[in-house]
Amino acid sequence: MDTVRPTTAEERDARTARNGGAPTLEFGRRVPYDSYVHASTLHTLQRTLSGDPGEMSFLMVSQIMELYFGLLRHELEQAREHVRNDEVWPALAPLRRAALHLEGLNAAWQTLRWMTPADFNTFRDLLGEGSGFQSAMYRQVEFLLGLRTKSLMRPFKGTTAYGELEVALHRASLWDEVIALLARRGHDLTPGLLERDVADEHEADQSVARAWVRVYRDTGPENHLRLLGEALTEVADRFGDWRYLHLKAVQRTMGAKSGTGGSNGLAFLQRSMSRPVFPELWTSRTEM
């Protein structure tokens, strides 16, 4: 069995009766679980470079994080499409899922807390210039959140990831679509704000902050924009946790040494943290 064969509730009940309540134990060439999850493929992707037993956890956690980045991109794209189509209520579900995925992503850092500088140094040189900074999927997530630095696409020149990033860069971010939604809902925004080049990073705008103040002052049960603001805030908050935990993991394992990918490591991450996600959701809170 190479593909998953759908079943009905009646078929499942009949199989349970035949098995006397025990699980089915006989299948063809491939068990259905593996046909769906491809676990046998996933477990062939861990190819360590050293004989150090700790490298496996470093590698596998990195791969887990990559999978979470892909999942976050999926959820944020769903939310963006709903917002673009004026579907505020349906946008809440993928945003809530994204916030929960970020909790899982952030928890992955905890499993690397065993790693001291001495532990990391046993295999760090073998990584060459490889760095999480070079994750194309993480850049996709940043672009969706509205964090856009064109120069960070340069490492992917000549790869298929570059074309995908180019497309993502020139599409409105989730935050761009939220701002357009505020305008469609009658909020008075700075002229020209909606006509800017979306490939450039959005700069916090006071008219957007004022719009969110008005949204939050309406505490009625039908104010779905307020729920949207809170769902976005949760995503931004959990993403901020990711950045902080990344910074602390680097500080714990290598201090302020130069990064593997050529950056100044800790200082680069500190600068990145200064760029807020959904900035007006935070600045507006002063007036709420």
| Domain locations in the chain as residue ranges | 9-41, 57-286
pLDDT digits 0-9 by tens, 38-89:
999 999 999 999 999 999 999 999 999 999 999 999 999 999 999 999 999 9
What is the predicted pLDDT for the residue at 71? 98
| Relative orientation angle of helices 224-254 and 88-108, to the nearest 10 degrees | 20
Q: Of 18-27, 87-96, 164-173, give the lowest mean pLDDT range.
A: 18-27
Please name which of 40, 41, 33, 23 lies closest in space to residue 1, comparing C-alpha atoms.
33
Residue 268 reports pLDDT greater than 90: no
Residue 149 binned pLDDT confidence (cut-offs 50, 70, 90): confident
pTM of the predicted model as reported, rounded to 2 decimal places: 0.92
246 is in an annotated binding site: yes
- How many angstroms separate the CA atoms of 242 and 72, rounded? 13
Top mean pLDDT of 198-202, 257-261, 269-273 is at 198-202
Residue 262 has pLDDT above 70, yes or no: no
Looking at every residue in the chain, the average pLDDT score rounds to 92
202 marked among binding-site residues: no
**Predicted local distance difference test score (pLDDT) of residue 261:** 58
pLDDT one-digit tens code per residue, 197-238: 999 999 999 999 999 999 999 999 899 999 999 999 999 999
For the packed helices 206-217 and 224-254, what is the interaxial angle rounded to 10 degrees? Answer: 120
**Would you tell me how many other CB atoms lie within 10 Å of the CB of residue 47?**
6
Q: What is the pLDDT of residue 54?
A: 94
pLDDT-derived band at 263, boundaries 50, 70, 90 = low
What are the pLDDT digits (tens) for 204-215? 999 999 999 999
Does 124 carry a binding-site annotation?
yes
**CATH of 57-286 given 3.40.50.300, 1.10.3370.10, 3.40.50.720, 1.20.58.480:** 1.20.58.480
Q: How far apart are CA 286 and CA 179, in angstroms?
A: 19
Residue 29's pLDDT band, with cuts at 50, 70 and 90, is confident
d(CA 231, CA 14) in angstroms, rounded, equals 43
The mean pLDDT of 132-152, rounded to a whole number, is 92
How confident is the model over 179-196, as pLDDT tens digits? Answer: 999 999 999 999 999 999
In this structure, which amino acid lies at residue 97? R
- Give the pLDDT score at 82: 98
